Each structure stands twice: as structure tokens, then as C-alpha cells.
Structure 1
Amino acid sequence: MNSWKDLQDILLKFRNERNWEQFHNPKDLALALSIEVAELNELFLWKKPEEADVEKVKDELADVFAYAILLAEKYDLDINEIVKTKVAKNAEKYPVDKAKGTSKKYTEL
């Protein structure tokens, strides 16, 4: 397995075998994604990053990716393409000569 499409196929098979597509509209997938991100954040709350339980991080991060992949599928989005496009947009907003080594927002550069 070496592509987003392979993962998407596994997730769709899992979902379809359970008749869960009825619950996977874009709004609810986005909400589920947000909730999973919150659960990931909770693993770091009040801790140093190295204190987080890596096994739990893996589980929550997998849930985040799963819902993101399912949401992309709903809109027939090519994950590779949308990420490349976003990186290109960010490269314009954050040119290396202005953004290197700083966490300032592009409007402050």
C-alpha cells in the first residue's frame, strides 16, 4: 500500500460493510475530524511533548487521517493535488527570504 487511494479503498470497504455511508455526509465527517483532532490535542494537554503516549498519538492521528480521507472522497478530491496546491499557495504567502526562522503570519512579514 503506497497511496492515498489505497487507504481510501480500505476505509470505504470498512465503512460500506457496516452500512455507515448514511452517516458520512460532508458536514458530519468534518465534525468527526474536528473531534478527533481535539482528542489528539488532549494527549498533549498539560504535558511536555515527549510525555505524550505515542501509541495513543498513533491511534488518534490515524482517526484524523481517516476522516480527512473520507471527506476528500466525498468531494472527489485528489489528496496529492490539493496538498501540492496548498503548499504552492503558502510558498507565495511565505517567501523564504521573509519567513525563514520566524513564526509570524504572512500579513506581518
Structure 2
Amino acid sequence: MTKKLTFEEACVIVMRHIRARKWDKTNSTRGIAISLSLEANELLEYYQWQDESFSSNDDLESELADIFIYAIQFAERFDIDIPTAIQKKIQKQDKKYPVEIFEIEDKKERAKAWLNAKRNFKKDTTF
């Protein structure tokens, strides 16, 4: 069995692979963003027209790996620390969608509370 990698170790492996092929110099930011979206859509294809995937776990793993590889490359380009970005995003979502909403038993009431939270949340649009 292979050793389980940390996220940081995986990022190093990805960027070593990217740099060895000079993709960090030749792939445009736009191209990386498009590729990230395309790979996410390839994952969606396994669910098209049904709720359950018609693929193997290996297929899903491969598509998810592609998504992460492009996300890591994109983050590297903009000096984004992914774990910190995730932490900040979760903090925003905690404010936007308080856990109390999801403790409401009645489905309709919960959906109404969720929609109200979504509508009433003020995005920070300052630059």
C-alpha cells in the first residue's frame, strides 16, 4: 500500500509535473480556467440522465484528479493557498447559512429559510 499524501505533498507533485513540461510557462490562465471547467463537466457526464453514476470509482477518481490538478495549477498562478481559501469560504458560508436553518424539520420551512438566507446575504463586492 502506498503512503497517503498530504495536500501539500500532492501540490508539490502536481507542480513538479507541470514545471517539468513547461506547462507553467505555456498554458494560459484562460486555458487553465477553461480546462478546469471542462474536467468538472466530464465528471458530470457520468451522471447525465440519471441520479447514480454509470462509471467505476476509478473513472470518478481520475476525473476528480484532473479537476484538482487544474485547480492547483490555477492557485499556483495566483498565489492562492487552497486550504486557507477553503477556510475563508467556509467562514462566509457559516454566516450566510447558519446551521439552525438545517435543523428545521419541516422540508418546506427549511427550504424557505434557506432561500431567505440566500436572498438576504450581502456579498462583499468591494475591490
How high is the TM-score relative to the length of structure 1? Answer: 0.84
Structure 1 residues 50 and 29: alpha-carbon distance in aligned structure 2, compared to 1, 3 A threshold: closer
Asked if 1:31 is matched to 2:43, the reply is no
Q: Which residue of 2 aligns with 1:55?
A: 58
Residue 25 of structure 1: how far off its partner (Å): 2.9
Q: Would you say the 8 A contact 1:72–1:79 is kept in 2?
A: yes
Indicate the structure whose relative CO is greater, using CA pairs within 8 Å and at least 6 residues apart: 1
Q: Unpaired runs of 5+ in structure 2?
A: 105-109, 122-127
Distance 2:84 2:103 in 1: 25
Q: Which residue of 2 aligns with 1:41?
A: 44
Distance 1:8 1:76 in 2: 13
Residue 6 of structure 1: how far off its partner (Å): 1.5
Q: Which residue of 1 aligns with 2:88?
A: 85
How high is the TM-score relative to the length of structure 2? Answer: 0.74
Q: Unpaired runs of 5+ in structure 1?
A: none
**Among the aligned pairs, what percent are the same residue?**
28
The structure having more radius of gyration, on CA atoms, is 2
Q: Which residue of 2 aligns with 1:107?
A: 119
Could you list the per-position Cα deviations for residues 35-69 of structure 1 after superposition, in whole angstroms to 9, with x for gaps in the alignment? 00010000111233254322111110100011111
More displaced 10-residue stretch of structure 1: 51-60 or 95-104: 95-104
Q: Would you say the 8 A contact 1:33–1:68 is kept in 2?
A: yes
2:19 aligned partner, one-letter code: N
Residue 108 of structure 1: how far off its partner (Å): 7.0
Q: Which residue of 2 aligns with 1:2?
A: 6
Structure 1 residues 82 and 48: alpha-carbon distance in aligned structure 2, compared to 1, 3 A threshold: same
1:47 aligned partner, one-letter code: Q
Distance 1:31 1:56 in 2: 21
Q: Which residue of 2 aligns with 1:73?
A: 76
